[in-house]
Every structure is written in C-alpha cells, then in structure tokens.
Amino acid sequence: MIRVALPTSAAAIPRSISTAVSENIPKNQEEDVRKVWRQADAVCFDVDSTVCQDEGIDELAAYLGVGEAVANVTRTAMNGNARFRDALAARLQVMKPNNEQLEQFVNITKPKLTIGIRELVGRLHARGTHVYLVSGGFRRLILPVAELLGIEKSRIYANEILFDKQGNYHGFDTSELTSDSGSKDVGKPAVIALLKKKFHYKTVVMVGDGATDAEAAPPADAFIGFGGNVIREGVKARAKWYVTDFDVLRKDLEHDDSSDDE
C-alpha cells in the first residue's frame, strides 16, 4: 500500500481584514497570551489559510476539475455539522485523486506562503523554539511548505492518503491523530498532548485560523487566532489574542518581560 498526501480544512470564509488585534478580549488576557508566546518551547502552526494563503484541498480539487462539486460537499457537511473525518471522506470520495495526479499537482504548484511567515519561523528557529506544522490536511502537500520554511519533516503532523498497488485512490489513514477532531483524544489537541509527553515541552502555543486550532488549547498553553487570510468570527471571539499580521508575532518576540516587573 502506497501512502501519500493532500490538505483539508473548511471552505474559506470571505476575507475582511480590519485590525491586527481582537477588540473584544480584555487586555490583561491578551497580555497573558503574549507572555506565553514569548516563553514557548514549541509553536504549532496550522497550514491552510494560516501558513499558506489558500486551502490545499480546494486547489487540488480545482486542478482535478471538481472544484465546485467539492465546494458543494463542503457546504453540505458544514451545514449538517458533520464529523471532520466524515466530511474529509466525502470530499475525497468526489476527488478520488490517484498517485500520479497528486504528484503532478505537487510538482507544478508552488506553495503560496502567507506574508511574514518565513521571517517569523526564522526568528523562532533562531531563538531555539521548535516549530511544527499541524494540519487536518495531507503530508504530501505540506512537505514542500516545510522545506521552504526549513522545518524538519518529522515536525509535520498531518494526514495520509492511501493508494492501491496500481496507484489508485484507496482512502486515507484513519489512525492518524489529525484525521478527526471534536475531542481531546483526536485532532490537534491530541497532537499537542503527544508532543508534551514525548519531548517534555513546558510551553506549547497553537496558531491558526480555524475552530480545530482553537480547540487545541488546552492542552496547548495558549491559542493565537490568525486572520491574515480568512477571518472566522467564531474563532476570533474565542481567541484571547487575535492577529492578522505575522509581523505582530515576530515583533512581540523582542519584548523584554523583565521590564514589566520593575
């Protein structure tokens, strides 16, 4: 059985960027998250509409000529509050990408990195902070993103598409933690719990645009909402610190917490 990969998150909500910080969160709560951010041993980034400007599964669907059909399946799943795994399965069943198609797509498509992410990841690496890509999408499409950002392959947590011996679509690996969401035992919460247990990180931060990112804290010590590509109002309301520009996060790393105590 051949294993390969591809990204998946909810369909994008129309972009309407206004401010860099959420207006509804008390300032002291935001400052608490900022302090955690500056102390992080590890930072986990979502990929679709966060590290990258687009949604990988939508781009692949368009390449395969089934973009509108997949969008319809996504809307139906969201309206019915479908389980993440079921919604993913439904979209892939429409697409049924074979191994050759997926490889061709990866070879001709350059990741559309969000402005400022290269500099932010570079700054985190310079500080000795471990950076992870944690996605409900698929590893094969995320590997080129990690390469551009200098992130080790072992620090990608994502899903795997399965192919039969002829290279035809054969489902996806449901044993991956990221293949489902909705509880602390699966999805991004489970990945962060695993990282803490495996590497003994004291402080882990999750950064992302979606509900599956927000649900990662806890066990993440903080969640930072990102709206630089898509603003999801429900996520914005839940985030104690919400930004629309990665430069805000990068510049905040220069803050001297010791001066606050004087």
Q: In what order do the strands lie in the sheet with 2-4?
A: 2-4, 161-163, 169-172
Helix (H) or strand (E) segment spanning residue 121: helix 117-126
Q: Does the annotation mark 256 as catalytic?
A: no
| Residue from 41, 46, 58, 260 carrying the catalytic annotation | 46
Distances (CA, A) of 134 to 18, 42, 163, 252: 27, 12, 23, 23
Q: Distance (Å, rounded) from C-alpha 150 to C-alpha 144?
A: 10
Distances (CA, A) of 101 to 60, 96, 110, 129, 194: 9, 10, 16, 36, 33
| Residue from 41, 48, 54, 261 carrying the catalytic annotation | 48
Q: Does the annotation mark 46 as catalytic?
A: yes
Q: Distance (Å, rounded) from C-alpha 170 to C-alpha 205?
A: 34
Q: Distance (Å, rounded) from C-alpha 64 to C-alpha 55?
A: 15
State the catalytic residues.
46, 48
